[in-house]
Structure 1
Amino acid sequence: MSVLFTVGYEGTDIDRFIRTLKAAGVERLADVRAVAASRKAGFSKTKLAERLADEGIEYSHFIALGDPKPGREAARAGNFDLFRSIYGAHIQTAPAQESLRKLIDFVQDAPTCLLCFERDPETCHRTIVAREVIEETGFEVFNLFADDPERYVRHAAKLPRFHSGEGLTAA
């Protein structure tokens, strides 16, 4: 079975973030933020894409899969039921569904990681996106935490691996 990684950059810096991706064997990063700007150095779209390219990691922004502002505000306020309701309705929209189809194609050929801000995947819309992807691909999800890349280096043999040809295109 193949794997889809997810990661948030909350609580880390760009160097540890990159080391985490590389330790897990990520070759593509799918940015699912609605707004790919960040006050954290290195995480705004252009700077992040440049750094990833320097590291041999492909970057793509799936803006239509980002959490709309009311959903982000609900999550920030700790109202996760409202957040999930808002995002659940959003992901059913035509633009989000089209972007989801593109994302599913994007993850097929190389180890891919979904990116958003929140460290905790349970309070982030990337988990909802990941569920949609795995429903179509059969991949498993593995959540990375970018604040301690050495844990992935130390336990590299235990990390799930991407297996080319598994998933939607092999079905």
Structure 2
Amino acid sequence: MVEAMEEVISMRPSSAAAIDRSSRLATCTALRCARAAVRTARWQSGGVRGAVMGRIATIGVYGFTAGAFLEKLAGGGVGLLLDLRQRRGVRGPEYSWANSVRLQRALAAEDIGYRHVKELAPTTELRHLQYREDDRQGVGKRNRVALAPEYIQRYTREILDPFDLGALVAELPSGSATALFCVERDPEACHRSLVAERLRAEHGLPVTDIRPS
């Protein structure tokens, strides 16, 4: 599969003068999508490995437009996005761009790989535990500033500890940053911060939190 995609990437118009501007734009978009697909396929098959990953970024959905989100990723040198959500959708038209199919299409157009790591997503039970704490605090997912202590303890014990982060690190691309992605605006309000901290503490990977401007 990867070899076939690479053949697509190597294709170029035989003569730039022979095609109009719209055709050139369509070709460029197709090539970017093919490159992103190759990157994703290689990550899935373990074909791209690095001894040490350059760095980790974290990013959410709330507070971003689609354009600003992609600009932040590009500015941060992100080449692969790991989706840590259990449910890969966001309610409402404002953030429909973050729904899985649309997001993957937008990332591919920017030559950014995508991978859903569902094993690092919180269970439904854990999510509801956090929602109960949000209700007690009088906050919602969009304005939460911290995770419940019980949520942190249980997520760490039930999800993070059993997961083989070493294997994940070994399979990350070495030439670009990897973004841990979920929904909440601030990493402190999201389980992605727990994953990022473990990667920093146990694997020496520097972490940058990307927030809306």
Same fold (TM over 0.5): yes
Q: Percent identity?
A: 28
Map of 1:123 onto structure 2: 189
Task: Please tell me the residue identity of whatever aligns with 1:91.
Answer: I
Deviations 1:101-126 (A, max 9, x none): 45323434221110011111112100
| Equivalent residues of 1:13, 1:41 under 8 A apart | no
Deviations 1:130-171 (A, max 9, x none): 1222234311111001x22xxxxxxxxxxxxxxxxxxxxxxx
Structure 1 unaligned spans of 5+: 149-171
Map of 1:30 onto structure 2: 82
Tell me the C-alpha RMSD between the 2 structures. 2.1
- Structure with the bigger RCO (C-alpha within 8 Å, sep 6+) is 1
| Equivalent residues of 1:70, 1:86 under 8 A apart | no
Map of 2:7 onto structure 1: none
Map of 2:129 onto structure 1: 74
Report the TM-score, using the length of structure 2 for normalisation: 0.61
Larger Rg: 2
* Deviation (angstroms), 1:92: 4.6
Structure 2 unaligned spans of 5+: 1-52, 135-146
What is the CA–CA distance in structure 2 between the aligned matches of 1:37 and 1:106, rounded to whole Å?
Answer: 26
Map of 2:59 onto structure 1: 7
Map of 2:71 onto structure 1: 19
The structure with the largest strand share of the pair is 1
Task: Please tell me the residue identity of whatever aligns with 2:189.
Answer: T
Report the TM-score, using the length of structure 1 for normalisation: 0.75
Matching of residue 112 in structure 1 with residue 178 in structure 2: yes
* Deviation (angstroms), 1:12: 1.7
